[in-house]
Each structure stands twice: as structure tokens, then as C-alpha cells.
Amino acid sequence: MNIIYPVSGNGSGAVIDDNAIALNKTWSSNKINSKFIEIKSEAPTLSLPKQANEDTKVTITITNYKDNMDYYFNTDAGDINYNGGKTATLTTKEVEEDTQFTVTCYAVEAGKTRSDMTIKNITVLNVPVVADGTISNAVFSTNADTNDGFEY
């Protein structure tokens, strides 16, 4: 099998007969200059608070947002709603005690590979619910001696 390998310079190629190359031996040619470059998308930079109360909405901002990139979020802190643009909304879940979670995001630009994963931490704070107290008016009495309910 003959394979044409690109050569630097005028864009011409070199033909190598792969059948003539001995197996298990290193073969190289200084006439062939091949370099494979992985072109990654730029990793997103995220801005979000370090902590938030449980069951609240938190804004996540992509500070290096680009219109031509797609962004993908994931978290164990609750639910993320992202519909494009430079902001996403995290609704934190209820926790039994203050708990640290991660928010991750990566980006993909057309013609490039997926970016490195951006990882940010957020601590979701437990907010104890205090039951409503009972309000009592022990001296309440009716005003039966007036027509409008007010005592004069």
C-alpha cells in the first residue's frame, strides 16, 4: 500500500511503500515533516459565588463568552438552566448540612476539539426552617354593642 504523506514546503507529498518497511522497526525520513496539532476550543472562565443558600437561584457567568461556541454545564449542586448566552442559572438543592459541590463546564467551537473542563466549587448552605409561631390574643372580645364593629 502506498500512502502519500505531506511534506513541508511547496505542499508536495512523498510516497512511502508501507509493504517495504520491516515490521517492528522504527522508520523515519527527514524528508517528511508531519506534525499533528490538536486544536482545542478555549476553556470557559466561570464566575459564580463561593457559597449560596439552599433552594435559591444563582447566576453563573461565562466571562470569556464567545457567540460561536457551545457551552455544556453539569453540577451535583442542583439544576442548571442554560439556554445560550453568557449566563446560566443554578437552582441549588436542599441540603441537610452545608455541603460543597462542583459546577463544571466545557466549550466546543466548530472545527475544534472540546475544551478542557472548567471546574468551580460552590458551597450550598443549609438554612434551617423555623416553624411559624402561634399568635394568640387572649383578651379578644367582640363588640356587640356597636353597629360597625368599632367601639367608641
Tell me, what's the pLDDT at 84? 95
Residues 57, 116, single domain; the answer is yes
Residues 56, 78, single domain; the answer is yes
Cα distances (Å, whole numbers) of residue 111 to 40, 67, 121: 9, 15, 30
Residues 77, 121, single domain; the answer is yes
Residue 133 located in a structural domain: no
Residues 63, 114, single domain; the answer is yes
- What phi-psi label fits residue 111: left (phi over 0), alpha (psi between -120 and 50 degrees) or beta? left
Residues 13, 80, single domain; the answer is no
Residue 52 β-bridge partners? 124
- Give 67: exposed, middle or buried? Use CB within 10 Å, 0-12, 13-18, 19+: exposed
Residues 78, 102, single domain; the answer is yes
Contact 44, 62 (CB under 8 A): yes
Residues 97, 118, single domain; the answer is yes
Residues 60, 104, single domain; the answer is yes
Closest CA to 52 of 127, 107, 105, 112: 127
Tell me, what's the pLDDT at 15? 52
- Render each residue's pLDDT in the chain as its tens digit; 152 residues: 444 445 444 444 445 555 555 555 555 555 445 555 679 999 999 999 999 999 999 999 999 999 999 999 999 999 999 999 999 999 999 999 999 999 999 999 999 999 999 999 999 999 987 777 776 666 655 555 555 655 65
Q: How many CA atoms lie within 13 A of 112 on its CB side?
A: 15
Tell me, what's the pLDDT at 129? 78
Residues 106, 70, single domain; the answer is yes
- Residue bearing cell 457551545: 70
Domain coverage including residue 74: 46-125
Tell me, what's the pLDDT at 141? 59
Number of domains forming the structure of the chain? 2
